[in-house]
Amino acid sequence: MLKKLKYNDEFIKSIAEQYPTPFYLYDEETLRENARLFNKAFEWNKGYKEYFAVKANPNPEILKILTNEGLGCDCSSLAELLICERLGIVGENIMFTSNDTPTAEYIKAKQLNAIINLDDITDLQTLENCAGLPDIICFRWNPGPLYNVSSVIGNPVEAKYGLTTKQLFDAFTLAKSKGIKQFGLHTMIASNLLDENFFVTTAKTIFDLVIKIKQQTNVNISFVNLGGGFGVAYKPEQSPLNLIKIGKEINAEYEKLNNAGTLPPIKIFTESGRLVAAESGILITKVIHRKDTYKKYIGVDASMANLMRPGMYGAYHHITVVKNSIPKNLSTEIVDVVGSLCENCDKFAVDRELPALEINDLIAIHDAGAHGYAMGFQYNGKLRCAELLLEKSGKIRIIRRAETFNDYIATLNINNW
């Protein structure tokens, strides 16, 4: 089965003639469409906001497009907070969710009046000591044995994130006693799921928990953050999530409890990064080597340093071949597509059937707009590649240049060089 590129071969080749491979190419139109899809799916909820997970793609130009569509930013580090500050994204347009958090990050989040989402009951005292308590506080819940989900995050019992149910009730009681005025509840249980029922069940579970918190602590929750985890259909045979359907079914659960008088009006937030940005980006790389030993290998000029997911998780990314010339035949072959890192896991595809490839052919690696460049690194002295943006006007613009050797050594402090 095939996944089709949004662009034809000639368009990709024309870009590769202007910009050295490898490079990322993002599509503005796709980003805007996906942002609007979230807003439409939850438009029934007054106060709804999607907080884009900045860690998925922290390029400021990407963030400007998404915030222009009304999205907020979900930050998890000081650098992400500082990027938002420079873009003028402050206040309740930021949800700050981190773990094992340095005090400097709490201080900056408080300065920006971000919504601070605490990962542990002890973090409340840490925040109070280093920055003072804000008017709004949120706690991250880990449901533990109530959920048994297989994902990158891991089974909740084994995951390092969040408070237990008992800790959650204690934390809200403690926060109220310290004068906190508004409260939020957050959970993020799994990653990259395509099971639509999961998200509806999670919402129902959170709504029920809001009711129990009110009953046991007399704390009124004003918003719930359902987290992310919305999966992408990376494989051609997978069906994409129907986000509109998910939104309608969550609405039905919400209305059922709200009409019964047990669930007060609450704002609903989400924090997807992957589903907003993944399909907007492709990684373009060139074939530079063929090797036939026990297997057939296609060597490209990108590596795991550019896109870590396949090597780290065994994740599937679809590949489209962009032929450098008119194909002499339509034959295919089973190959591993590899980079040049000194690591055997540096593979973009294993035993993948692809059209017969030749030196200088281009390949496009799909769905790389989230957790792609952002997870890059410099092992083996590999330099991170450029990022390009295809604007709605059709213009291609560099939004991050490729690194140079001088960038690589810029932080060294050597007397004799």
**Domains identified in the chain and CATH numbers:** 9-24+279-403 (2.40.37.10), 90-272 (3.20.20.10)
Mean pLDDT, residues 170-190:
96
- For position 328, what pLDDT does the model report? 55
Which residue matches tokens 């099971």?
195
- CA 241/CA 113 separation, integer angstroms: 34
| Long-range contacts at 5-14 (CB < 8 A, ≥ 24 apart) | 5/282, 5/320, 5/364, 5/366, 6/30, 9/322, 9/323, 12/284, 12/322, 12/362, 12/364, 13/322, 13/324, 13/362
Percent of the chain at pLDDT above 70? 96
Of 95, 96, 210, 197, which is closest to residue 147 (Cα–Cα)?
A: 197
What pLDDT does residue 351 have? 98
Per-residue pLDDT tens over the stretch 119-147: 999 999 999 999 999 999 999 999 887 76
In sequence order, which residues have a C-beta less than 8 Å from that of residue 261 and are 6 or more positions away?
A: none
CA proximity to 23, closest of 234, 232, 346, 286: 286
Q: Which residues, in sequence order, are CB contacts of 223 under 8 Å at separation 6+?
A: 47, 138, 184, 185, 266, 267, 268, 269
Average pLDDT estimate for 1-30:
94
* pLDDT (0 to 100) of residue 151: 52
Task: Kindly state the average pLDDT of the residues 358-365.
Answer: 96
pLDDT at 19 over 80: yes
Q: Which of 235, 348, 376 is closest to 287 using CA atoms?
A: 348
The per-residue pLDDT for range 267-280, each reduced to its tens digit, is 999 999 999 999 99
Could you tell me which of 279, 349, 382, 246 has the C-alpha nearest to residue 56? 279
Burial class (CB in 10 A: 0-12, 13-18, 19+), 110: middle
Contacts of 47 (CB under 8 A, 6+ apart): 223, 267, 268
pLDDT tens-place string over residues 204-226: 999 999 999 999 999 999 999 99
Asked whether the predicted pLDDT for residue 148 surpasses 90, the reply is no
Q: Which residue has the higher pLDDT, 246 or 161?
A: 246
**Among 158, 103, 108, which residue's Cα sits nearest to residue 129?**
103
pLDDT band at 149 (very low <50, low <70, confident <90, very high): low
The least confident of 170-184, 248-262, 322-336 is: 322-336
User: Which structure tokens are listed for 386?
Assistant: 């450029």
Beta bridge partners of 284: 23, 364
pLDDT of residue 354: 96
pLDDT number for residue 156: 76
Give, in degrees to the nearest 5, the angle at Cα 117 between 244 and 231.
30
What is the enclosing helix (H) or strand (E) of 270? strand 267-270
Going by the DSSP 8-state scheme, the letter that residue 93 receives in this structure is G
For residues 152 and 190, give the distance between their C-alpha atoms in angstroms, rounded to a whole number.
7
- Answer whether residue 326 shows pLDDT above 70: no
What is residue 369's DSSP assignment?
A: S
Name every residue whose Cβ is closer than 8 Å to that of residue 120 and which is 6 or more positions away in sequence. 99, 163, 167
Q: What is the DSSP string of 11-28?
A: HHHHHHHHSPSSEEEEEH
- Mean per-residue pLDDT of the chain: 94
pLDDT digits (tens, 9 = 90+) for 254-312: 999 999 999 999 999 999 999 999 999 999 999 999 999 999 999 999 999 999 999 99
| pLDDT at residue number 327 | 61
Is the pLDDT at 238 greater than 80? The verdict is yes
Q: Is 246 helix (H, G, I), strand (E, B) or coil?
A: helix
